[in-house]
């Protein structure tokens, strides 16, 4: 083999090793043979959310998030993602390239929001996608948006998003599921597409690698949140009762029952990175 061929072969091997390392760091950073050491289930299993039978849903897989999209309401049923410490501390600039997803039937259009009085409220926030340019761009797809009142979007909702990044930094990774509460009666629609305007939103957060694992939920009205984030804190059980969804069902029953019945906001709010 010539010197040039040897150099090319070594360089190719180095690239393969680097890519493999990055893949492991991204997908298995807390796993042993793909299994969570804390609960004996995979991240993908923990991200599975069971919604009521008959709910219109198209599952969309993006780089950093999974979306159950409701083509009749033109908004997501829910959005779920894992947020790691490294991702929460990314430095990718915000792209602001709001646009519909042309591959998704029933996706809202930019014109639907124009002049509606509602903002394009991210379900997975752009700041959670600062680790990658593709993930950042996809966070601005309208499949990831719901009509939100500005007082919520820039108020308690934003504060909770910031708090979630802090929790990911403290615990190394968390799983977040969020979306509109579609069991409420929809009384307002916007645009030619008739995009549904939710009356309330939910968010549930699971910290599967803490010892012991813990979870918390939040329910916020589509407007100013009296009392802010703390007043909106509830148990995951309460979010399940409001939405009809089943979160984190892959957990062993005893762990699931324990963590989903708790609402320890003061404990979560005072966490610090060791």
Catalytic residues, which ones? Answer: 122
Please classify residue 272 by burial: count the beta carbons closer than 10 Å to its beta carbon, then call 0-12 exposed, 13-18 middle and 19+ buried. exposed
Q: Which residues pair with 189 in a beta bridge?
A: 196
């Amino acid at each position: 083999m010539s010197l040039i061929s040897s150099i090319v072969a070594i360089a190719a091997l180095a690239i393969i090793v680097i890519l493999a390392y990055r893949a492991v760091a991204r997908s298995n950073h807390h796993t042993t043979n793909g299994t969570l050491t804390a609960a004996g289930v995979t991240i993908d299993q923990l991200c599975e959310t069971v919604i009521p039978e008959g709910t219109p849903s198209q599952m969309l897989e993006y780089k950093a998030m999974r979306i159950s999209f409701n083509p009749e309401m033109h908004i997501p049923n829910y959005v779920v993602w894992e947020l790691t410490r490294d991702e929460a501390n990314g430095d990718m600039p915000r792209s602001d390239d709001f646009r519909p997803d042309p591959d998704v039937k029933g996706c809202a259009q930019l014109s639907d929001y124009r002049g509606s009085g509602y903002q394009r409220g991210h379900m997975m926030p752009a700041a959670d996608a600062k680790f990658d340019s593709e993930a950042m761009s996809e966070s601005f797809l309208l499949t990831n948006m719901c009509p939100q009142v500005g007082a919520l979007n820039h108020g308690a909702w934003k504060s909770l998003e910031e708090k979630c990044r802090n929790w990911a930094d403290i615990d190394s990774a968390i799983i977040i599921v969020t979306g509109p509460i579609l069991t409420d009666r929809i009384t307002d629609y916007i645009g030619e597409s008739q995009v549904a305007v939710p009356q309330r939103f939910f968010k549930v957060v699971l910290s599967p690698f803490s010892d012991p694992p813990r979870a918390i939920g939040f329910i916020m009205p589509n407007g100013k949140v009296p009392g802010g984030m703390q007043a909106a804190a509830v148990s995951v059980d309460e979010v399940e009762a409001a939405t009809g969804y089943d979160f984190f069902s892959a957990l062993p029953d005893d762990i699931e029952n324990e963590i989903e019945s708790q609402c320890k906001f003061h404990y979560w709010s005072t966490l610090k990175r060791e």
